[in-house]
Amino acid sequence: MFRYIYVVIAILAVTLPSFAQKNAKTKVEGIVRTTDAYPAEYISVSLKGTPYGSVSDSKGYFEFEAPEGEYTMQVYSISAHRKEFPVTIKSGSINRFDDLTIIENKNQLNEVVVTGQFTPQSIQNSIYKVRVISQQQIQQKAATSLQSLLNTEIGIRLSNDMALGETDFEIMGMSGNNVKVLLDGIPMIDRLDKKQSLSQIDINTIERIEIVEGPMSVIYGSDALAGVINVITKGGSAKDGKKLSVGARIQEESIGDEYNFFDKKGIHNEGVNARYAFDNGLFAAGSFTRNRFGGWQGDSTGRKKQWQPKDQYLAGGQIGMSKSNYNLSYRLDYLNENLLTEADINKVNNTTSDKEFIVNRYTHQLQGNWKASNNLTFSLAGSYQDYSRRTRTTNIDLNTGKKTLSTNAGEQDKTTFDAWFGRLMAVWKVRNDLTLQPGVEIQSDNGEGDRMNGAHTITNTAVFLSAEYSPLEWLTIRPGARSSFNSVYDAPWAVPALNVKGKLSGDLDLRASYARGFRAPTLQELYYSFHDSNHNIDGNPDLKAEYSNSYQVSLTWRSIHKEDIRLTNQLTGFFNDFRDRISLTESKENSSYSKYYNIDKYRTLGLTFENNLYWKSLRASLNMSLVGRYNKLYEDQALKDEDMSKFRYSPEVAANISYDWSKVATFSVFYKFTGKRKEYMYDSNDKLDLLGKSSFNWADFTISRPICKLLTATAGIKNIFDITTVRDNTTGGAHSGGTGVSQMACGRSYFVGLSFNFEQ
């Protein structure tokens, strides 16, 4: 049925615009500005009760055509405050309006979001619940990686794999491959279920991060069961009327009490970037960053380290053209990463070994938008990603200095992945209360390596359709569906979603949603083959896609909303029911052999309460969450007499405060309490017990002060509570060492940084 709908929509999209009104129209244009006189981007300007209108660009400029006559012009600000005034559109001349002003200032415009939207929207107007980490927050936190940026965000939990130097994370109680990582709206490829791509994005090129919680499978397809993290980079086009921008950053940071000036011990982050926009719309940008993590010895002795050294070199370039009715850009990003594990010295023969994990990643992107008319826009997104990871183990004879490659099983390995991706979408405003978004998407993933059973390819083609209908001024309804066709497994024939947003009053919004999400089995889960003295694992080509039914309700109250003070409160509840969950399962006949199967069901539910205050130079937030994770042993009939709860609950509290003391400095504190994470497990006496990872507190403090117009100095303390490990009764995996603790960080650290920014 959905296929016929797509065909009908496609035919209508081509034919109906030709029946547009033939009335003679004249040009309407102007500039929209903020209260502090900056150009205001993404502001809706329209003639009330008509289909005529437009959205302002990065220069605040808007233009559209309309028949002559008397109208009421509407200007919607990002917080949906509306200004109306009468205008007369005259034929035979350009009607220009240059005195349009919204009530927000430049900083408040950062609240515009694009993830999952038909057109850029304010957070308030978005039909989804979206969280934004702005450029201002990134600078204030002085992060050198995405992990250090996300570690105090409510609802996000991080865990570390010490052997592989990788970090996994959770959103809404779901981790790894249930979260889609996007770079400018395009999915990133990853090697396994952990999202290595998050640690392989240049922090110095990030403009902001948008986090959408809940399934986004209609728009973004597989893996978006728990939500998406969209990393949006700094573009090369002109901003705020500035055509030239040159920036540089250097930051030196200790790792616990270990540090060497600019070399080896400590964190050393240096980056440069530049962009230039020509008058004809052509623009170009480039960047380079070196990020060196010297590792941390901790309690280890000799050559061994608790945290392994990692060097990253990241380079990127972009070229494009931006015009009033279209833009097109090509971007290339490159990463070289080397993680080094040094073994202890064998005192018997005076030898040792080094193991390196070497990653090379190329990411090509092509993005474009074309405004065919005021009511019809097309967008194109394409990418090619080339990823390789090599394991190289070198034996070293310290007597002679001779180095040779190890011939032991599993110590030399190379895995390669490449992915082609393309998405074409249209946004068609059929009438004032109805907008359609049809789209088609294709992705081909290819993988080959020593730990995969041959070379394999998965191709997925999908068509999707969303509609946004506003039958009443205060009500917006967005249904959607996606159909997929996969070359390897039976993909869900239809993935539906329904989002509703109601404006209960001028300051009170209600959002409710249902969505069916799915996650396709990865190449590794299908074809993995790893057999050595410690591992005996196979993939399963017969796996099915995971799927989920998810429900979310949120209530947002802007209890105070004035020009110099704003207070927003948001209460959200969610429930997710996952089926056919893919799990690595031990064989009953041979406990040393494991294989992937669709055996698990899983559920999460929770509440979050978020409060954000903006008052003059003060910005503060206080957020709380309680997440329940399903106990899969609850329905085990053999354990029906055990006293167990159906869900295990974990609390979190996060509080941030930032104060800009004029002519002195900006002071910021970031705090998070992460509650105990409990699991039902058997203890050493084979007794079922509620074990888990202990709670802990984390806090960072930063000071930022402009030295002059071009230079800003930053200093501070990270991990104030000196966290290194937390007690964890659930450890015992291949890379945990069974120590009964989880490695969280390297202890309290200190940093100082200097940034340069020139714009003209």
For residues 380-416, b (16+ Cβ closer than 10 Å) or e, as one string?
A: ebbbbbbbbbbbbbebbeeeeeeeeeeeeebbebebb
Homologous superfamily of the 231-759 domain (CATH): TonB-dependent receptor, beta-barrel domain (2.40.170.20)
Q: Over the stretch 23-51, which tens digit does the pLDDT of each residue have?
A: 578 899 999 988 778 888 878 898 988 88
Reply yes or no on domain 25-102 having CATH 1.10.760.10: no
Those residues of the chain that have pLDDT short of 50 are 1-22, 733-738
Task: Read off the tokens for 381.
Answer: 């997104």
Sequence spans of domains, the chain: 25-102, 112-230, 231-759
- The per-residue pLDDT for 683 is 64
- The per-residue pLDDT for 638 is 66
- The per-residue pLDDT for 23 is 55
- The per-residue pLDDT for 533 is 62
The DSSP bridge pattern shows strands 69-76 and 112-113 to be unpaired
- The per-residue pLDDT for 534 is 65
Which residues are 722's β-sheet partners? none
Q: Over the stretch 573-628, which tens digit does the pLDDT of each residue have?
A: 999 998 888 888 877 667 678 888 887 788 999 999 999 999 989 999 999 999 99
DSSP state of 646: S
> What is the helix (H) or strand (E) element at residue 431, kind and residue range?
strand 412-431
Q: How far apart are CA 353 and CA 400, in angstroms?
A: 14
- The per-residue pLDDT for 2 is 44
- Which fold is adopted by the domain 112-230? Ferric Hydroxamate Uptake Protein; Chain A, domain 1 (2.170.130)
Which residues are 393's β-sheet partners? 355
- The per-residue pLDDT for 368 is 96
Neighbours of 22 (CB within 10 A): 6
3-class secondary structure per residue, 289-324: EEEEECCECCCCCCCCCCECCEEEEEEEEEEEEECC
- The per-residue pLDDT for 328 is 96
Residues 6+ apart with CB under 8 A from 12: none
Residue whose entry in the numeric block shows the structure tokens 């799990």 = 583
DSSP-assigned states of every residue in 163-221: TTTEEEEEETTEEGGGEEEEETTEEPP-SSSS-GGGGGS-GGGEEEEEEEES--HHHH-
- The per-residue pLDDT for 4 is 44
Task: Read off the tokens for 752.
Answer: 């100082």
- The per-residue pLDDT for 595 is 86
- 3 state SS of 719: coil
Instruction: Decide whether 25-102 matches 231-759 in CATH topology.
Output: no
